[in-house]
Amino acid sequence: MIILLTGGAGFIGSSLAKQLLEEGHRVICLDNLDSYYDPDIKWRNVQETLNDPEYHFHEGDIRDSELIDTLFQNYAFDAVVHLAARAGVRPSVQDPGLYYDVNVNGTLTVLQAMQRWQVKKMVFASSSSVYGDSQQVPFLETDTADRPLSPYAASKRAAELLCHTFHHLYGFDIFCLRFFTVYGPRQRPEMAISQFTDSILNGRPITVFGDGSTSRDYTYVEDIVNGIIQSLENLKGYEVLNIGGSDPISLADLIHVIERAVGETARINRLPMQPGDVQLTYADIAKASQLIGYQPSVRIEEGIRRFVEWYRSRLNYSLATEEY
């Protein structure tokens, strides 16, 4: 299978690319190496697969319709995995126009190219944030998702609706996967687990928004990758699927898990809850289990242990490089 992977240099995308290549697929990666976080991190992710003859990297923006058309013209894509997006709930409150432009108009650009070039299969990366501050737990795909609390969440929900429109008009097979707080090796540096681990290892206080009672359904990146691949293998019609760990943990308990993995105690700087944050996320994964055979396999304690081990190895590598 020849796959267009947008956002392929990021945390999830680079992990997915590696697995797709191992399974014998051809991966065409498109990423603009955005400066939302250090582009060098993404470039290092890409370097790990550049030598594979079945991997091709193109730097560019999903809003560039001419570039997108060129890619569709040059490669006979069988499917698109659309991960590219402007990420982050809190930053979206400060710049909603950018989030709408990238996440909605960018998705529309890709969908229109698929229609022009008759590529009818897509896996779209959505987000658990579309559920807003839902009181119905665990979250079901049939729940109303029309009360988003941030522009990021609103943009992801809008993109889901666009995907349905193209399914209806052109017979596209599209699965919209609502990811629940993904973590693991290569995780973005501004995310909580990365920041907490780095601060605790370096003896700095961690910043905690709220009293620690908020809970998140954390999902290890390996499980997310498996969910995407299982979706590719079972694409038929239009579906929305929760891809989560289905085992929420409070922020306070998460910090304790990280402390045990690091072997140090955190010093905590508490601040008020931030606009756009929700109290709880919790995935009902029964539909994904039934349709694609999805089952998360890495519990939070094991996932954090693996992440801290990876983080320490990267830190030691950086220090060794500086010495020489």
Is the pLDDT assigned to residue 253 strictly greater than 90? Answer: yes
Kindly state whether residue 167 falls inside one of the protein's structural domains: yes
Secondary structure of 123-140 in HEC code, one letter for each residue: EEEEEHHHHCCCCCCCEC
**In the predicted model, what is the mean pLDDT of residues 75-92?**
94
Phi, psi angle pair for 218, to nearest 5°? -75, 140
Specify if 190 maps to a domain.
no
Q: How far apart are CA 271 and CA 164, in angstroms?
A: 40
Q: Give the total number of structural domains in the chain.
A: 1
The residue range of the domain holding 26 is: 2-183+219-244+282-297
Q: pLDDT, tens digit, for every residue of 148-198?
A: 999 999 999 999 999 999 999 999 999 999 999 999 999 988 888 999 999
Please give the structure tokens belonging to residue 110: 């890709």
Instruction: Based on the residue annotation, tell me whether 152 is a catalytic residue of this protein.
Output: yes
Asked whether 80 and 123 are in contact (CB, 8 A), the reply is yes
Q: What is the pLDDT of residues 230-239, one digit of tens each?
A: 999 999 999 9
pLDDT reported for residue 313: 86
Give residue-wise pLDDT tens across range 84-142: 999 888 889 999 999 999 999 999 999 999 999 999 999 999 999 999 988 888 999 99
Task: Say whether 243 sits in a helix, a strand or coil.
Answer: strand
Q: Is residue 266 part of a domain?
A: no
How far is the C-alpha of 109 from the C-alpha of 91, rounded, in Å? 23
The percent of residues above 90 in pLDDT, for the chain, comes to: 77
- Over range 31-43, report the average pLDDT: 86
Query: What average pLDDT does range 37-44 have in this prediction?
Result: 86
195 in any annotated domain: no
What count of other Cβ atoms lies within 10 Å of the Cβ of residue 190?
13
Residue 17 has pLDDT above 50, yes or no: yes
What pLDDT is stored for residue 324 in this prediction?
26
Which CATH number fits the domain that encloses residue 229?
A: 3.40.50.720
Provide the pLDDT for residue 322: 37
What's the Cα-to-Cα distance from 264 to each of 163, 194, 197, 211, 303, rounded to whole Å? 46, 15, 10, 21, 18
The verdict on residue 313 lying in a domain is no
The catalytic residue among 100, 152, 218, 220 is 152
Count the Cβ atoms, other than its own, within 10 Å of residue 317: 10
Residue 208 maps to a domain: no
Report the pLDDT value the prediction gives residue 60, as an integer from 0 to 100. Answer: 97
In a domain, 306, yes or no: no
Residue 39's pLDDT band, with cuts at 50, 70 and 90, is confident
- Residue 276 is predicted with a pLDDT of 64
Q: How confident is the model at residue 316 (pLDDT cuts 50, 70, 90)?
A: low
112 part of a folded domain? yes
